Amino acid sequence: MSLVVVGGHSRSVGKTSVVASLISALPEYEWTAAKITQYGHGVCSANGEACDCATGDHSWAISEERDRSGESDTSRFLVAGAVRVLWVRTEQGRLAEAMPSLRAKLEGARNVIIESNSILKFLRPDLYLTVLDPATADFKNSAREFLDRASAVILHEAASGAAWQDVSLKPVKERPVFRITPPEYVTPEIVKFVRASLPRVVEERLKLRTEN
Protein backbone atom coordinates (compact mmCIF):
# COMPACT_ATOMS: atom_id res chain seq x y z
CA MET A 1 0.00 0.00 0.00
CA SER A 2 1.19 3.49 -0.86
CA LEU A 3 0.10 6.50 1.17
CA VAL A 4 -0.26 10.04 -0.19
CA VAL A 5 -1.13 12.95 2.07
CA VAL A 6 -2.33 16.31 0.76
CA GLY A 7 -2.19 19.25 3.15
CA GLY A 8 -2.15 23.01 2.94
CA HIS A 9 -1.51 26.15 4.95
CA SER A 10 -5.14 27.20 5.31
CA ARG A 11 -8.72 26.32 4.46
CA SER A 12 -10.03 27.01 0.97
CA VAL A 13 -6.65 26.76 -0.77
CA GLY A 14 -7.65 23.78 -2.92
CA LYS A 15 -6.68 20.69 -0.91
CA THR A 16 -9.92 18.89 -1.74
CA SER A 17 -9.60 19.81 -5.42
CA VAL A 18 -6.06 18.44 -5.51
CA VAL A 19 -7.14 15.15 -3.93
CA ALA A 20 -10.13 14.75 -6.24
CA SER A 21 -8.04 15.61 -9.29
CA LEU A 22 -5.34 13.08 -8.41
CA ILE A 23 -7.94 10.37 -7.86
CA SER A 24 -9.43 11.13 -11.27
CA ALA A 25 -6.07 11.33 -13.05
CA LEU A 26 -4.70 8.10 -11.54
CA PRO A 27 -7.59 5.58 -11.51
CA GLU A 28 -5.20 2.62 -11.73
CA TYR A 29 -4.24 3.23 -8.10
CA GLU A 30 -7.73 2.25 -6.92
CA TRP A 31 -7.65 4.88 -4.18
CA THR A 32 -9.17 4.67 -0.76
CA ALA A 33 -9.58 8.33 0.21
CA ALA A 34 -10.07 9.96 3.60
CA LYS A 35 -10.70 13.46 4.85
CA ILE A 36 -9.84 14.56 8.39
CA THR A 37 -12.10 17.22 9.88
CA GLN A 38 -11.45 18.68 13.32
CA TYR A 39 -13.99 20.76 15.19
CA GLY A 40 -14.30 22.67 18.42
CA HIS A 41 -17.02 24.77 20.05
CA GLY A 42 -19.29 24.17 17.07
CA VAL A 43 -16.73 25.57 14.63
CA CYS A 44 -15.27 23.48 11.83
CA SER A 45 -11.61 23.55 10.80
CA ALA A 46 -12.69 23.12 7.18
CA ASN A 47 -14.23 26.56 6.81
CA GLY A 48 -14.13 28.25 10.23
CA GLU A 49 -17.91 28.42 10.43
CA ALA A 50 -20.61 26.79 12.52
CA CYS A 51 -20.96 23.17 11.49
CA ASP A 52 -22.61 19.81 12.09
CA CYS A 53 -19.30 17.94 12.29
CA ALA A 54 -19.60 17.31 16.02
CA THR A 55 -20.20 13.69 16.92
CA GLY A 56 -22.55 14.16 19.87
CA ASP A 57 -21.39 12.19 22.89
CA HIS A 58 -18.12 10.99 21.31
CA SER A 59 -14.82 12.77 20.72
CA TRP A 60 -14.48 11.25 17.25
CA ALA A 61 -16.33 9.34 14.54
CA ILE A 62 -15.49 7.70 11.23
CA SER A 63 -18.16 7.30 8.58
CA GLU A 64 -18.06 5.88 5.06
CA GLU A 65 -19.26 8.18 2.30
CA ARG A 66 -21.89 6.73 -0.04
CA ASP A 67 -23.40 9.90 -1.49
CA ARG A 68 -22.41 10.48 -5.12
CA SER A 69 -24.03 13.89 -5.53
CA GLY A 70 -20.65 15.64 -5.43
CA GLU A 71 -22.00 18.21 -3.00
CA SER A 72 -19.61 17.43 -0.13
CA ASP A 73 -15.84 17.10 -0.17
CA THR A 74 -15.93 13.37 0.50
CA SER A 75 -18.67 12.90 -2.09
CA ARG A 76 -16.39 14.59 -4.62
CA PHE A 77 -13.78 11.93 -3.92
CA LEU A 78 -16.31 9.21 -4.78
CA VAL A 79 -17.38 10.99 -7.95
CA ALA A 80 -13.71 11.32 -8.94
CA GLY A 81 -13.34 7.54 -8.82
CA ALA A 82 -12.20 6.54 -5.34
CA VAL A 83 -13.19 2.95 -4.52
CA ARG A 84 -13.89 3.90 -0.90
CA VAL A 85 -14.09 7.18 1.02
CA LEU A 86 -13.92 7.79 4.76
CA TRP A 87 -14.77 10.93 6.72
CA VAL A 88 -12.92 11.21 10.01
CA ARG A 89 -14.33 13.77 12.45
CA THR A 90 -12.57 14.54 15.72
CA GLU A 91 -12.52 17.18 18.37
CA GLN A 92 -9.48 19.39 17.94
CA GLY A 93 -6.42 17.74 19.45
CA ARG A 94 -8.05 14.29 19.74
CA LEU A 95 -7.17 12.72 16.41
CA ALA A 96 -4.96 10.21 18.25
CA GLU A 97 -8.08 8.58 19.70
CA ALA A 98 -9.42 7.84 16.22
CA MET A 99 -6.17 6.48 14.80
CA PRO A 100 -6.50 2.81 15.86
CA SER A 101 -9.90 2.59 14.19
CA LEU A 102 -8.72 4.48 11.11
CA ARG A 103 -5.68 2.20 10.73
CA ALA A 104 -7.97 -0.83 10.92
CA LYS A 105 -10.31 0.57 8.27
CA LEU A 106 -7.39 1.25 5.93
CA GLU A 107 -6.04 -2.30 6.17
CA GLY A 108 -6.27 -4.04 2.83
CA ALA A 109 -6.53 -0.82 0.82
CA ARG A 110 -4.49 -0.86 -2.37
CA ASN A 111 -3.50 2.80 -2.07
CA VAL A 112 -4.59 5.59 0.26
CA ILE A 113 -4.84 9.35 -0.20
CA ILE A 114 -5.69 11.54 2.81
CA GLU A 115 -6.55 15.22 3.02
CA SER A 116 -4.98 16.49 6.24
CA ASN A 117 -1.91 18.04 7.83
CA SER A 118 -2.40 16.64 11.32
CA ILE A 119 -2.34 13.02 10.15
CA LEU A 120 1.43 13.43 9.74
CA LYS A 121 1.74 13.18 13.52
CA PHE A 122 0.71 9.54 13.25
CA LEU A 123 1.50 8.31 9.74
CA ARG A 124 4.56 8.62 7.53
CA PRO A 125 3.37 8.91 3.94
CA ASP A 126 5.24 7.93 0.82
CA LEU A 127 4.37 11.35 -0.54
CA TYR A 128 3.26 14.58 1.16
CA LEU A 129 2.05 17.42 -1.04
CA THR A 130 1.39 20.83 0.50
CA VAL A 131 -0.83 23.41 -1.19
CA LEU A 132 0.18 27.04 -0.70
CA ASP A 133 -1.73 30.14 -1.80
CA PRO A 134 0.21 33.41 -1.36
CA ALA A 135 -3.06 35.36 -1.48
CA THR A 136 -4.30 33.69 1.73
CA ALA A 137 -2.78 35.22 4.85
CA ASP A 138 -3.64 32.49 7.35
CA PHE A 139 -0.94 29.85 7.91
CA LYS A 140 -1.97 26.96 10.17
CA ASN A 141 0.41 25.82 12.89
CA SER A 142 0.12 22.27 11.59
CA ALA A 143 1.23 23.43 8.14
CA ARG A 144 4.26 25.18 9.65
CA GLU A 145 5.11 22.15 11.76
CA PHE A 146 5.25 19.74 8.84
CA LEU A 147 6.43 22.04 6.07
CA ASP A 148 9.89 20.49 6.05
CA ARG A 149 8.35 17.07 5.37
CA ALA A 150 6.74 18.15 2.11
CA SER A 151 7.81 16.10 -0.90
CA ALA A 152 6.67 18.90 -3.20
CA VAL A 153 4.82 22.21 -3.14
CA ILE A 154 1.70 23.00 -5.16
CA LEU A 155 1.78 26.79 -5.39
CA HIS A 156 -0.96 29.11 -6.58
CA GLU A 157 0.22 31.70 -9.05
CA ALA A 158 0.20 35.11 -7.36
CA ALA A 159 0.05 38.60 -8.80
CA SER A 160 1.96 40.04 -5.84
CA GLY A 161 3.98 38.92 -2.82
CA ALA A 162 2.81 36.48 -0.17
CA ALA A 163 0.09 37.72 2.20
CA TRP A 164 1.23 35.53 5.08
CA GLN A 165 3.62 37.01 7.63
CA ASP A 166 6.66 35.61 9.44
CA VAL A 167 6.65 32.35 7.46
CA SER A 168 9.85 31.06 5.94
CA LEU A 169 9.74 28.72 2.96
CA LYS A 170 13.35 27.69 3.47
CA PRO A 171 12.27 24.17 4.59
CA VAL A 172 10.99 23.51 1.05
CA LYS A 173 13.67 25.46 -0.82
CA GLU A 174 15.04 22.32 -2.45
CA ARG A 175 11.65 20.68 -3.11
CA PRO A 176 9.90 20.60 -6.49
CA VAL A 177 7.40 23.45 -6.91
CA PHE A 178 4.41 23.03 -9.20
CA ARG A 179 2.55 26.22 -10.04
CA ILE A 180 -1.19 26.08 -10.59
CA THR A 181 -3.86 28.48 -11.78
CA PRO A 182 -7.33 27.45 -10.59
CA PRO A 183 -9.68 26.03 -11.64
CA GLU A 184 -6.88 23.66 -12.68
CA TYR A 185 -5.44 22.28 -9.44
CA VAL A 186 -3.43 19.35 -10.80
CA THR A 187 -1.24 19.70 -13.87
CA PRO A 188 0.22 16.90 -16.03
CA GLU A 189 3.55 17.61 -14.32
CA ILE A 190 2.05 16.93 -10.89
CA VAL A 191 0.49 13.67 -12.11
CA LYS A 192 3.83 12.61 -13.57
CA PHE A 193 5.60 13.43 -10.29
CA VAL A 194 3.14 11.41 -8.21
CA ARG A 195 3.31 8.44 -10.56
CA ALA A 196 7.13 8.52 -10.54
CA SER A 197 7.16 8.76 -6.74
CA LEU A 198 5.02 5.63 -6.38
CA PRO A 199 6.54 3.29 -8.97
CA ARG A 200 5.71 0.09 -7.10
CA VAL A 201 2.02 0.52 -7.81
CA VAL A 202 2.47 0.58 -11.57
CA GLU A 203 4.86 -2.36 -11.43
CA GLU A 204 2.41 -4.43 -9.38
CA ARG A 205 -0.47 -3.65 -11.73
CA LEU A 206 1.56 -4.63 -14.79
CA LYS A 207 2.64 -7.86 -13.10
CA LEU A 208 -0.98 -8.79 -12.32
CA ARG A 209 -2.05 -8.12 -15.89
CA THR A 210 0.80 -10.31 -17.19
CA GLU A 211 -0.07 -13.17 -14.84
CA ASN A 212 -3.74 -13.02 -15.80
Domain boundaries, the chain: 2-211
Q: At what angle do helices 15-25 and 73-80 cross, to 10 degrees?
A: 20
Residue 59's pLDDT band (cuts 50, 70, 90): confident
Q: What are phi and psi of 134, to 5 degrees?
A: -60, -20
DSSP conformation letters of 105-119: HHTT-SEEEEE-SGG
Identify the pLDDT of residue 201: 55
DSSP conformation letters of 58-102: SSEEEEE----SS-SHHHHHHHHT-SEEEEEEEETT-HHHHHHHH
Lowest mean pLDDT among 115-124, 155-164, 196-205: 196-205
Distance (Å, whole) CA 61 – CA 87: 8
The stretch 34-49 carries a mean pLDDT of: 63
Do residues 131 and 143 make contact, with C-beta atoms less than 8 angstroms apart? no
Q: What's the pTM value of the predicted model, to 2 decimals?
A: 0.85
Q: Provide CATH code, domain 2-211.
A: 3.40.50
Residue 155's pLDDT band (cuts 50, 70, 90): very high
pLDDT tens per residue across span 96-128 = 999 999 999 999 999 999 999 999 999 999 999
Q: Strand, helix or coil at 150?
A: coil
Distance (Å, whole) CA 196 – CA 190: 10
Q: Which of 87, 84, 68 is nearest to 76 (CA)?
A: 68
